[in-house]
Amino acid sequence: MDSQKIISFLPYTKPFLFVDEITQISENGVIGNYTFKENEYFYEGHFINNPITPGVILTETMAQIGVVCLGIYLLKDEILSDKKPQIALTSNEIDFFLPVYPSEKVTVISEKVYFRFNKLKCIVKMFNAKNELVCRGSIAGMIIAK
């Protein structure tokens, strides 16, 4: 399954889709990126005159790329048979180190810890364009094809 097909199966649309590209994917992990546009809805009112991407949005970006895209890839045989993925976040623990501003491109690198009984847990890291660690942690979710 190619990266555009994986993105097409995501259960999100703009303005809540935070995946521009998947650059690498395998049974063990995924790498992808997203560029935060200047006009994203969440910048309005979040730190007046100093817009910063909210941590919950950074977490969501890591979850979409690092867990959901990987889960779709792992279930590709079931999903390709016309079943749609259903996703639920079950846990996350994220440490934040640097802010992300409008127009910044981030790269998410995710490594699978385990995938069993339809629960996928990953160690996920986000880097900015300078290859500086923005945040890291673990994210787990349930994914099934129905």
DSSP 28: T
140 class by beta-carbon count within 10 Å (0-12 exposed, 13-18 middle, 19+ buried): middle
Please pick, among 1, 3, 46, 104, the residue that the annotation labels catalytic: 46
Concerning whether 46 is annotated as a catalytic residue, the answer is: yes
Nearest by Cα to 18 from 106, 96, 90, 136: 106
Determine the Cα–Cα distance for residues 69 and 21; give it in Å rounded to an integer: 10
Catalytic residues: 46
